[in-house]
């Protein structure tokens, strides 16, 4: 049970945000993860395909965490903090985001669940994005009962495009967004089930 402390009362969410794989633990993002988020989103390499606008203060990191925790409350899902079991280190995040409303569109795309991942560079190349994303997909289709999941990556972001394809998402189209070309991917629940059987 996820307990969120508000100013005057406790809010109990019916969903537990916890996934465990062979090498990783994924859990709710906590205010105590501020140093990890600052290391992640303050890194220029991480933001190369995210608009080249890394954060510069811990206050910004705190706001990112607050925004994701607000999504847990309002939308029932948000990105998961990802922890490396062997070290106990915060390595980044993986998980779903429900993009909804006028301010959360991707070109003409709106009202969709997207799968995403973002890791501190020293943890790249270890297969963590694939490992966490496969677990997140299982969680989404089995526990959240999603029918379809989407993914997006800039065309030039070779690593992310490979991961999205590797975990089973199918390339649907390509479109311009904020001066870049975006690859758009989709995975239906029934197609995911076939790959798992």
Q: CATH number, domain at 66?
A: 3.40.630.30
Per-residue pLDDT, 101 = 81
Query: Is residue 31 in a domain?
Result: yes
**Tokens of residue 99, six digits:** 């993009």
How many Å apart are CA 35 and CA 48, to the nearest integer?
20
pLDDT of 12 reads: 40
Domain count, the chain: 1
Kindly state whether residue 158 falls inside one of the protein's structural domains: yes
**Closest CA relative to residue 115, chosen from 100, 91, 99, 102:** 99
Mean pLDDT, contiguous 10-residue spans, the chain (197 residues): 38 65 97 98 96 95 96 93 98 96 87 96 97 97 95 96 97 95 97 79
State the pLDDT at residue 112: 96
HEC string of 28-76 equals CCCHHHHHHHHHHHCCCCCCCCCCCCCCCCHHHHHHHHHHHHHHHHHHC
Is position 143 within any domain? yes
Angle in degrees, CA 104, 106, 111, rounded to 5: 55
In a domain, 1, yes or no: no
For residue 145, give the DSSP letter.
-
pLDDT of 14: 42
61: left (phi over 0), alpha (psi -120 to 50) or beta: alpha
Name the residue range of residue 174's domain.
16-196
Q: Beta partners for 115?
A: 96
Kindly report whether the global pTM for this prediction surpasses the value 0.85: yes
CA 162 to each of CA 123, 130, 188: distance values in angstroms, whole numbers, following the listed order: 17, 10, 18
């Amino acid at each position: 049970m996820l307990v969120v402390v508000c100013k005057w009362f406790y809010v109990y969410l019916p969903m537990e945000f916890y996934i465990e794989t062979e090498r990783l633990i994924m859990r709710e993002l906590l205010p105590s993860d501020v140093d990890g988020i600052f290391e992640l989103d303050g890194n220029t390499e991480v933001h190369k395909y995210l608009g080249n606008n890394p954060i510069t203060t811990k206050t910004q990191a705190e706001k990112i965490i607050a925004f994701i925790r607000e999504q847990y409350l309002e939308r029932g899902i948000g990105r998961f903090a990802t922890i490396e079991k062997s070290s106990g280190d915060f390595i980044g995040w993986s998980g779903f985001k429900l993009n909804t409303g006028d301010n959360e569109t991707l070109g003409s795309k709106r009202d969709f669940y997207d799968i995403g991942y973002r890791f501190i560079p020293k943890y790249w190349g270890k297969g963590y994005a694939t490992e966490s994303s496969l677990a997140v997909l299982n969680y989404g289709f089995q526990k959240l009962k999603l029918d379809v999941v989407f993914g997006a990556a800039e065309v030039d972001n070779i690593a992310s495009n490979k991961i999205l394809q590797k975990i089973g998402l199918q390339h649907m189209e390509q479109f311009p967004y904020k001066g870049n070309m975006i690859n758009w991917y989709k995975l239906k629940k029934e197609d995911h089930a076939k790959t798992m059987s």
